[in-house]
A and B are shown apart, each in its own frame.
Chain A
Amino acid sequence: SAVISQKPSRDICQRGTSLTIQCQVDSQVTMMFWYRQQPGQSLTLIATANQGSEATYESGFVIDKFPISRPNLTFSTLTVSNMSPEDSSIYLCSVGGLGDYGYTFGSGTRLTVV
């Protein structure tokens, strides 16, 4: 199965600023998924990123707040823009679901907004 390198692993940011999270995959994948996990909660899908097209966002998430880039088949970034304390969460990228392999996750980015 694919191996994902995600960074940064954690960050503490001032409100009103932006943070870009990067995920690098060791193989080419068509779709990458971005999730948010708020403290003590489950994983919620933010968006699906396809290479060469705009990301598809889930209800409650908008491109202006969470812009996503997908420049090639092994890399994606998620930006959390104009942050507020409510954005404090763990953000995870994920790939998979094809062939005999399940889905794998990056190690996550623990974001604290102060």
Chain B
Amino acid sequence: GENVEQHPSTLSVQEGDSAVIKCTYSDSASNYFPWYKQELGKRPQLIIDIRSNVGEKKDQRIAVTLNKTAKHFSLHITETQPEDSAVYFCAASILGYALNFGKGTSLLVTP
């Protein structure tokens, strides 16, 4: 089955700096790669996703890149703000089937 590795497990940045979280996946059949943000006590919220026919996608301060050959994808957050502090999860799946999650990255943005 699919195995998703996520790094780093914790990340601390200064407000205004950029944050990058990286994930690798094992199943070349996976074609959908979402990123979720989870705040304490809340459900995961989708922040951005990318499909295998696209190499990069951007939404304001958030971007995701995908390298299908190397089987890795990354989340980039620019101009970080304290409210970006949360746990971020990457996932991979074949669309319509269950998501396989990475272990998560705890992001702390300090003022």
A and B pair up: yes
Interface string of B42-86 (1 = CB under 8 A from A): 011010010000000000000000000000000000000000000
Complex contacts, B103 vs chain A, CB 8 Å:
41-42
- How many residues on chain B are close to A (CB under 8 Å)? 18
A92 interface residue, CB < 8 Å from B? yes
Main secondary structure of the interface of B (DSSP, over half): loop
Q: Which of A10-64 contact B (CB under 8 A)?
A: 30-31, 33, 41-45, 48
B96 touches A94 (CB 8 A): no
CB distance from A105 to the nearest CB of B (A): 5
A103 touches B99 (CB 8 A): yes
B99 touches A92 (CB 8 A): no
* Interface residues, chain A, with chain B CB atoms under 8 Å away: 30-31, 33, 41-45, 48, 92, 94, 97-98, 102-108
